[in-house]
């Protein structure tokens, strides 16, 4: 009985996690990647022309990057459509759903730690 209960909880969590709210902006593609740690990487106007494209569906080790031990940065640029802002119930709020993080994470939005 305990196993069935556990499976039910996992099923419910999967449904909740994979459900996307109406009007959600999916950020599956367009990510940039650079190994190393430089706080300037958080700046919104940073030149990413020498950054490499990366998929979020696999760890970097399996995407042609050397075995890295240390920090790396993922970046994406997106625009929130004005129509989404106008139809939102909470005009001053933004929800960000993060995926699985390995070991350590800091998230910046427009250069500010969130």
Task: Say what the pLDDT of residue 32 is.
Answer: 93
pTM of the model: 0.69
Average pLDDT estimate for 64-93: 81
Buried (b) or exposed (e) across 66-97, using 16+ Cβ within 10 A? eeeeeeebebeeeeeeeeeeeeeeeeeeeeee
Task: Indicate the helix (H) or strand (E) that contains 87.
Answer: helix 82-87
Average pLDDT estimate for 7-30: 60
Given a cut of 60, whether residue 16 has pLDDT beyond it is: no
Task: Say what the pLDDT of residue 40 is.
Answer: 94
pLDDT tens sequence across 24-77: 777 888 899 998 889 999 999 999 999 999 998 887 888 888 777 778 899 998
Given a cut of 70, whether residue 21 has pLDDT beyond it is: no
């Amino acid at each position: 009985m305990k196993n069935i209960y556990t499976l039910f909880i996992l099923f419910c969590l999967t449904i909740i996690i994979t459900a996307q709210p109406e009007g959600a902006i999916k950020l599956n593609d367009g990510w940039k990647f650079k190994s190393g740690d430089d706080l300037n990487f958080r700046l919104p106007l940073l030149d990413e022309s020498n950054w490499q494209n990366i998929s979020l569906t696999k760890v970097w080790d399996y995407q042609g990057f050397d075995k890295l031990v240390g920090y790396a940065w993922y970046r994406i640029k997106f625009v929130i459509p004005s129509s989404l802002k106008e139809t939102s119930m909470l005009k001053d709020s933004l929800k960000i759903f993060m995926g699985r993080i390995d070991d350590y994470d800091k998230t910046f939005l427009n250069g500010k730690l969130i």
